[in-house]
């Protein structure tokens, strides 16, 4: 929930809304005596959360847009500089590199993670024994801190006697210094991203699979359709909403990867693993260019909003606010 961004309003996998009746019109009578008291109670009860969100979400959003057009180092007052920050960004090779890296990271972690997540979900959906244990094992990395996970992988990738190179040496292979090689660092980071993300994708697919109508499969079996045929003709099309949901939420989350970069590579070697979030962090907290960092975060925001809107567009209409 830290990254509330990804919590979309309602792109539920098809599992969701069936059979839920929502009672509307339970209130909203004329504002007479008791009705008034009720309304006042309602306002009072929502007030603390509303105040909190206004100060810690509303104000920051406005401020970050304003700051993006300023030069600001926190110590002296911000100076309006128009589009300078955005112009600087065009000349900033490292930031451009970070955008490319973010896209590469996303492009590899998301589809591979999704394919693996779907495979595991399908396997678990067959109703075999002990699937609870398998599901738990796959999901555990999702509830553990990314920092802790990154530290463990940092040790696994250790060139001297980390687990990976130890295992490779059993096979007679001399493993590289994974995280300090410009060619291996990004793949290594991507592997951790895939590994950590499978659980969530599996979970959403599993929820979606469990809501698919059984009758279709029975009919298909009667018609003599093979399991493989059933998968491609029934399961995959019916999983489309879930697939789209997983795709968008995973992309949004991959675009905001930070902790693992901070721990594993610090953006290096030679900026080969730096990401947009990491550049924002560097600009603001290592170079104290808060205005520039705000402009960078605005670019990230626009990209993420783009995903969200595409999601809305395609999923839209079917899910209300209830």
Binders of other proteins among residues 96 to 135 (CB under 8 A) are 116, 119-120, 123-129, 131-135
Among 180, 181, 211, 271, binds other proteins (CB under 8 A): 211
Q: Least distance from C-beta 140 to other proteins, angstroms? A: 6
Q: Least distance from C-beta 303 to other proteins, angstroms? A: 9
Among 56, 93, 228, 286, binds other proteins (CB under 8 A): 56
- Count interface residues toward other proteins (CB under 8 A): 129
Among 70, 106, 274, 277, binds other proteins (CB under 8 A): 277
Site for other proteins in 136-175 (CB under 8 A): 136-149, 151-156, 158, 160-161, 163, 166
Q: Is 314 in the site for other proteins (CB under 8 A)?
A: no
245 with 271: CB under 8 angstroms? Answer: no
Q: How far is CA 172 from CA 21, 165, 166, 167, 310, in A?
A: 63, 10, 10, 9, 48
Q: Least distance from C-beta 90 to other proteins, angstroms? A: 20
Q: Is 17 in the site for other proteins (CB under 8 A)?
A: yes
11 with 245: CB under 8 angstroms? Answer: yes
> Hey, CA dihedral for 161, 164, 170, 175, is it positive or negative?
negative
Taking the C-alpha atoms of residue 295 and residue 85, their distance in angstroms, rounded to an integer, is: 6
Taking the C-alpha atoms of residue 161 and residue 149, their distance in angstroms, rounded to an integer, is: 18
> Hey, CA dihedral for 119, 125, 131, 132, is it positive or negative?
positive
Nearer CB in complex with other proteins: 48/237: 48
Among 7, 30, 93, 228, binds other proteins (CB under 8 A): 7
Site for other proteins in 68-97 (CB under 8 A): 74
Helix (H, G, I), strand (E, B) or coil at 255: helix
Q: Is 234 in the site for other proteins (CB under 8 A)?
A: no
Nearer CB in complex with other proteins: 186/252: 252
Nearer CB in complex with other proteins: 59/314: 59
Q: What are phi and psi of 71, to 5 degrees?
A: -105, 125
Q: Is 48 in the site for other proteins (CB under 8 A)?
A: yes
Site for other proteins in 285-304 (CB under 8 A): 285, 290, 293-294, 297-298, 300-301, 304
Helix (H, G, I), strand (E, B) or coil at 290: helix
HEC letters along 23-61: CCCCCCCCCCHHHHHHHHHHHHHHHHHHHHHHHHHHHHH
């Amino acid at each position: 929930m830290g990254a509330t961004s990804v919590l979309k309003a309602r792109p539920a996998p098809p599992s969701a809304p069936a059979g839920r009746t929502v009672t509307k019109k339970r209130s909203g009578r004329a504002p007479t005596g008791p009705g008034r008291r009720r309304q006042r109670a309602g306002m009072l009860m929502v007030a603390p959360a509303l105040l909190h969100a206004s100060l810690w979400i509303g104000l920051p959003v406005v401020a970050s847009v304003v700051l993006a057009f300023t030069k600001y180092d926190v110590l002296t007052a911000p100076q309006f500089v128009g589009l300078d920050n955005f112009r600087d960004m065009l000349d900033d090779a490292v930031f451009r590199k970070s955008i490319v890296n973010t896209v590469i990271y996303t492009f590899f972690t998301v589809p591979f993670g999704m394919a693996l997540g779907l495979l595991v979900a399908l396997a678990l959906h067959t109703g075999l024994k002990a699937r609870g244990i398998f599901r738990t094992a796959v999901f555990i990395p999702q509830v553990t801190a990314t920092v802790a996970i990154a530290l463990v992988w940092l040790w696994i990738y250790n060139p001297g006697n980390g687990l990976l190179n130890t295992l490779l040496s059993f096979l007679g292979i001399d493993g590289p210094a994974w995280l300090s090689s410009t060619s291996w660092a990004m793949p290594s980071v991507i592997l951790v991203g895939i590994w950590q993300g499978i659980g969530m994708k599996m979970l959403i697919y599993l929820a979606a699979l469990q809501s698919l109508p059984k009758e279709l499969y029975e009919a298909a079996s009667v018609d003599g359709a093979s399991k493989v045929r059933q998968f491609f003709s029934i399961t995959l099309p019916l999983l489309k909403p879930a697939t789209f949901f997983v795709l968008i939420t995973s992309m949004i989350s991959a675009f905001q990867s930070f902790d693992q970069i901070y721990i594993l590579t610090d953006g290096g070697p030679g900026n080969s693993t730096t990401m947009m979030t990491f550049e924002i962090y560097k600009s603001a907290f290592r170079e104290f260019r808060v205005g520039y960092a705000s402009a960078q975060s605005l670019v990230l925001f626009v990209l993420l909003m783009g995903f969200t809107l595409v999601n809305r567009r395609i999923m839209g209409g079917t899910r209300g606010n209830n």
